[in-house]
Amino acid sequence: MSSPLFAANRRRFLSAVALGSAGCFAPGAFAEELLRTAAVEEGPFYPDHLPLDTDNDLLVINDATTPAIGEVTHLSGRLLDSKGDPIKNALIEIWQVDTKGVYLKDRPEHLGKFDSNFQGFGRFLTGSTGEYYFRTIKPLPYERRPAGHVHFAVKVKGREKWTTQLFVKGAPGNSVDMVYQRIKDPRARDSVTVDFVPVKASRVGELAARFDMVMGFTPEG
C-alpha cells in the first residue's frame, strides 16, 4: 500500500487534473462520435502471476522505503465512450518494463538483473468522471522494442477486454518500432502517442502524461 503522504498528494493531483479537464470533456459536449483510441495488441508480457501489491503507485511496493529507479511520471486521463461521456467502474490495468528492460513476467529469467523495487503492474477503478491515475516511470526502450511504451488493458463489465499501448511523443525509437509502425492511420497513431512534460512544481524532475481513451461504444451500445 502507498504511504499516507503519497495518498494525500495523489488526491490533490487527481483533483487538479479532473478540474482541469472538466471543461474539455463535459458529458454531452459532443454532437458526433469522438475519434476512437486505437486498439493495439496486448503482447506476450501480461504477468503470469500478479504481484501482491497491484495498486496505482508502481514506484513503491507495499510499505517499502526504497522507490523504483526511473523518471517519475504522473500518468492520468479519462475513459470515455464514443459520445464523450465518462465510463465509470471500469478496471484499468497497466504494465511495463523497469529501467533494466525487464517485465514482471520475465523476471525468473533475469534473476538479480531487474529493479525489485518496481511494481511493474498496477490497477485503477474509474469513478464517476471516468478519471484514472498512476504513478509510474517514463517508459524506456529495451532490446526487443525500440519504442518505450506502457501496456493498457481496459475491463468493462459485460464487454471483452480491450488493450492498447501508450507511446512517447517524439521518441526516436517510434520510427523503427514494428508495433508502432503497424498503426498506419496517422490519426490512430496520434491517439496513442502522448507528450511526457515536466511538472512545473516538481523539484526532482517529475513528468506528467495525459492519455484520454475513447472506447467504441456508448452506454446503450
User: Grid coordinates in use for 24?
Assistant: 474539455
pLDDT (0 to 100) of residue 75: 98
* pLDDT value at residue 63: 87
For 129-169, the pLDDT digits (tens) are: 999 999 999 999 999 999 999 999 999 999 999 999 999 99
Q: What's the pLDDT at 200?
A: 94
Which one of the listed residues 10, 74, 103, 135 is annotated catalytic? Answer: 103
149 is an active site residue: yes
Delimit the domains of the chain by residue range. Answer: 4-214
CA-closest candidate to residue 139, choices 165, 161, 108, 159: 165
What's the pLDDT at 219?
57
All cell numbers assigned to 155: 475491463
Active-site residue flag, 142: yes
Residues in contact with 159: Cβ distance below 8 Å, sequence separation at least 6, in sequence order: 217
pTM: 0.85
Regions in the chain scoring below 50 on pLDDT: 1-31
CATH fold label, 4-214 = Protocatechuate 3,4-Dioxygenase, subunit A (2.60.130)
Residue carrying the nine cell digits 518496481 = 118
103 is catalytic: yes
pLDDT in the model for residue 32: 64
